[in-house]
Amino acid sequence: MLVEIPQLLSPKELSSIRELIGSAETVDGKVTAGEIAARAKHNLQLPEDSAAAREAGEIILRALGRNALFNSAALPLRVLPPLFNRYDVGMSFDAHVDGAVRAIPGVGLRMRADLSSTLFISSPDDYDGGELVIEDSYGVHTVKLPAGHMVLYPAGSLHRVNAVTRGARWASFFWTQSMIKDDGLRGLLYDLDRGIMDVRTSLGTDTRGVLSLTSVYHNLLRRWAEL
């Protein structure tokens, strides 16, 4: 399931993040990649423990918490603190699959990476190339979104970032462990939730049918959730 989340960040939040990360020190992006991914990864990123990354990440986490679409699609249990990367001219990330388990910094725990997220910070007019390309059972999807928009997709999908040919591409990336481990079941709940919302909006009231469907949604979530 691939879900685009428009305007995750407000203009003020986007401006604050750009200011925080724009002048921050960067390191080789290979520092957070596994052995195989490191050979494919050619970019720069903010150190995980930098003050700029932590402060900018908190802005994103607050935005995720209030976003109904993200919460409906991801059904998040844990979200890894956001990281930030930059692709300059000639930089790319060849085809790879994200690691299944990630360490949570500072707490000595690990989490399952069910979903990957890419939040675009640079405007698409500011760079050429740099498209995120995701392959799944439905084909190949090329993603290049406006600044402040985000795409959510299965962490187990094969994906890559095309080489930047002009300008610089800033983005945030992070992983989510969902309460629903199975991507297919999670997708069913997402479709049901969106359908209920559409019917409620169309009718302008909670009919008995809407309440029955809402009951089905929560009872399925109760049956399938892993906490």
Within the chain, residue ranges assigned H as helices are 11-22, 35-40, 51-66, 68-74, 183-203, 208-224
Whether 69 and 130 share a structural domain: yes
Whether 79 and 23 share a structural domain: yes
Global pTM value: 0.94
Whether 154 and 191 share a structural domain: no
The predicted pLDDT at position 106 comes to 83
The predicted pLDDT at position 199 comes to 94
- CATH code at position 115: 2.60.120.620
- CATH code at position 191: 4.10.860
> What are the pLDDT digits (tens) for 77-96?
999 999 999 999 999 999 99
Whether 89 and 187 share a structural domain: no
Whether 112 and 213 share a structural domain: no
pLDDT of residue 33 exceeding 80? no
Packing angle of the helix pair 183-203, 208-224 (nearest 10 deg): 160
Whether 162 and 216 share a structural domain: no
Whether 51 and 143 share a structural domain: yes
> What are the pLDDT digits (tens) for 102-124?
999 888 899 999 999 999 999 99
Per the structure, the complete domain to which residue 209 belongs is given by 183-224
